Structure 1
Amino acid sequence: MTQWKPLSPSKHHLMGWKSFTHYLFIANNTLAPICVSELLAINGAMPLAFTKTPKGNFQLVAVQGLESQQNLYVGSDGKWLGRYVPAVHRGYPFRLQLAENGSFILCGDMDAEWLNQHAVPEDTRVFNEQGELTPPMKDVVTFLQNVQKDLQRTRTIVAQLADANLMEPWPVTFPLPEASQGKQRIEGLYRISESHLRALPPEVLAKLTQSGALSVAYAQLLSQSRINDLIKRHTEGGQPHPNAEKVDLESLFNEGDDDFEFNFDA
C-alpha cells in the first residue's frame, strides 16, 4: 500500500529518509514503464511490450508478471530476481507527480518504511534548515527529472510507431496449473507487427530511423522471447539471476533538462 503526498519545506522540514533495502513495494507491479535510454541495459533481461493508456496512447513497458498485481522479479523476501531493475523503480520512496499546471511536484510515500516524518540519526534529511533540498535529495530529484524527461521522449517515439500502424495485439498465453489443464491468455499487450514493418515505405523507415523509433521497434521484437522466461518463472518459481548487475544510472540519464519545470507543493 502506498500513500503519495506532495512534499514541501513548510510541512516536511524535519523529514528524513534512507535508501530502500528491498523491493516489496513493487511486488504488485505487473508492468513498468521503460525509457529509451534503458534499452541497451535491459536488452535480453525482460520482455518488452506496449500497452494503451486510459487516453488511448501507447506506452513502452517491461512485462514483470503474467497475472494482475504480480511481479515475478520480486522474491518473497523482497530481493530482485532479475538482471536489470527498471529506472522507474529506483527513485523510491520519492516520485514526481504531474500537477494541473503542467509542472512536477516532489512526492513521498508516507507509508514507506524508509521515510520518517521526523528524521532519526541514521536518516538523510530531505530539507536543510533553510528549507532547501539537501545535496543527496538534489541528486534524487535530478534523477527523477531525467527519468520523466526520457519517459516523455519515449512516449513521443512510441507515438510515431503507432502512427505508422505498427502496433498489433500480442496474444500471450501460458499454461494453467496442471490440475486445471488449458491455458490462460493475457489481454492488453501489444507488439510490433513484423509484416507491417517490412512493408513500410522507405521514406517512413528513414523517418523512424532518424528519430530512434526504429530502434525501439527492434528492441521490442528482440525481447519477445523473454516472455518464455517469465512463463517458466511463473510455473517453477523464480530464482535470483546469477549475473544480476548494477547499472550506472548517471550514465543512463546524464542529460540536464533546462525546460523541465519543478515546484514544491505550497
Structure 2
Amino acid sequence: MTKQLMIYERAVPVSSESHRDWSVKMGEDYKFSSSVNSVPLLAAEFRATAQDYAIVFAGDGNDVVPSVILGVRDGENSNVGADGNWTGGYIPAFLRRYPFVFSRSEDEKDFVLCIDEGFDGFNTDGKGERLFDTDGERTTFLKSKLTFVSEYQALFERTAVFCKRLQEHDLLEGAQAQFNLADGQTASLSGFFTINREKLKALPAETLVEMVRSDELELCYAHLFSLGNLTPMAQKIGVSATPAEAEVAVDA
C-alpha cells in the first residue's frame, strides 16, 4: 500500500494575494491518480464503494484508515484509461476533491484550504473556473470547493471514530492478497488490515447493539462483502487468478 497524499505535488494555501488571477479547469481527467493503487476512503462511502472495489484498512499504530484498492500492482490504478478517463465505477471522494485539500494551520488549531499548484488544470489563461473575482473575493466555484472539502474533513473525523472502535476491540488483523499474472509472474498486495469476522461475531451483545445503532456494524459487513471484488478486479486487468488465489489471506 502506497502513500496516497503523493498525488499532491505542491499543495499551498489558497489566497487572493497569490492566486487572484488563477483559474482551475476540472473535468474527467484522472491521470493524476494513475500511479496509485489505493486511496483513503470515508465510512460514508462504504456502501457505494463495496459494489465495485475491495475495501481494506491501511496504516499503523493509531493511524489506521479505510482504503479502497484500485489496482493489484504497485503504482498502477486499473480504473484510469490511457486518455485519463475514469473507467471504473464509483469515484472516491479523495480523488474528487483534488486538487483541493485541507492542511492544519501553524498553530494546529484550524484548517487551511490548499490547492496543488502542480495540477495540470491550474492556469492563468482563464481556462475553467476562476478562484477569485476582480475584487479579490472568493468566487462561487471556490466557495463550493471549500464546502466540499469542509464536509469531507467532517466525515473523515467520523471515520476516525469508527476505526478507533475497531482497534479498541482488536478486530483488525494483517492480511495480504496474492495473484498470478497472465504472463506467469506473480503480484501481491500487503501492508493492509481486514476485520476478523469471528472476533466481530464474538463481541458482547451490548457492544454489537451499539454498533448497530451507529451503523458501524453495517460498515463492517460492507467491508467484508467487498473483499469478494478482488477476483473480478484482477480479471478486469488481465490477471489470471483462481478464487483461492485471489482471496485475502491473514498474515501469520
TM-score for both structures, normalised by structure 1: 0.80
Aligned match of 2:217 in 201, 214, 218?
214
Hey, what's the Cα distance between the residues in 2 that align with 1:31 and 1:102?
29
What is the aligned partner in structure 1 of residue 120 from structure 2? 113
3-state DSSP of counterpart to 1:155: helix
Q: Mind listing any 5+ residue stretches in structure 1 that lack a counterpart?
A: 238-266
1:48–1:62 contact (8 Å) kept in structure 2: yes
Which residue identity lines up with residue 230 of structure 2 in the other structure? I
Among 193, 201, 205, the alignment partner of 1:202 is 205
* Structure 2 residue aligned with 1:249: none
Q: 2:28, 2:86 within 8 Å by CA — same for their partners in 1?
A: no
Q: How much has 1:67 moved relative to structure 2?
A: 2.3
Q: Report SS of the residue matched to 1:171.
A: strand
Please tell me whether residue 169 in structure 1 is matched to residue 174 in structure 2: yes
**Is residue 98 from structure 1 mapped to residue 104 from structure 2 by the alignment?**
yes
Q: Is the 8 A contact 2:55 2:67 kept in 1?
A: yes
Q: Say which SS state the counterpart of residue 214 (structure 1) adopts.
A: helix
- Paired amino acid for 2:141: P
Structure 1 residue aligned with 2:183, among 150, 161, 178? 178
Identity score, percent: 26
Other-structure match for 1:250: none
Q: Which has the higher contact order (CA 8 A, sep 6+)?
A: 1
Q: Aligned ranges for residues 67-86 of structure 1 at < 5 Å?
A: 67-86=73-92
The one-letter amino acid of 1:77's match is D
Q: Which residue number in structure 2 is paired with residue 257 of structure 1? A: none
The residue that corresponds to 2:30 in the other structure is: 23
In 1, Cα distance between equivalents of 2:99 and 2:31: 12
The equivalent of 2:129 in structure 1 is: 124
Deviations 1:115-145 (A, max 9, x none): 11x242x432101233221011101110111
Equivalenced residue count is: 232
The more displaced of 122-131 and 134-143 is 122-131
* 1:241 match: none
- The DSSP-based 3-state class of the residue aligned with 1:187 is strand
Greater shift, 7-16 or 171-180, is seen at 171-180
State the secondary structure of the residue aligned to 2:113: strand
Aligned match of 1:32: 39
Q: What runs of 5+ residues in structure 2 fail to find an aligned partner?
A: 1-6, 241-252
- Output one character per residue of 1:178-217: Cα deviation in whole Å (capped at 9) or x when no partner: 344xx43321121110111111110111222223221211
Higher strand fraction (1 or 2): 2
Distance 1:138 1:169 in 2: 41
Let me know the Cα RMSD of the aligned residues.
Answer: 2.0
Structure 2 distance, partners of 1:231, 1:21, is 24
Alpha carbons of structure 1 residues 98 and 66: separation in structure 2 relative to 1, 3 Å: farther
**Cα offsets for 1:221-242 (capped at 9, x unmatched):** 01010111222123359xxxxx
Residues 143, 124 of structure 1: alpha-carbon distance in 2 compared, 3 angstrom cutoff: same
Describe the superposition over 1:143-199 as per-residue Cα deviations: whole angstroms up to 9, x where unpaired: 11101110111111111012111111222111145344xx43321121110111111
Letter paired with 2:139: T
Contact 1:158–1:213 at 8 Å: present in 2 too?
no
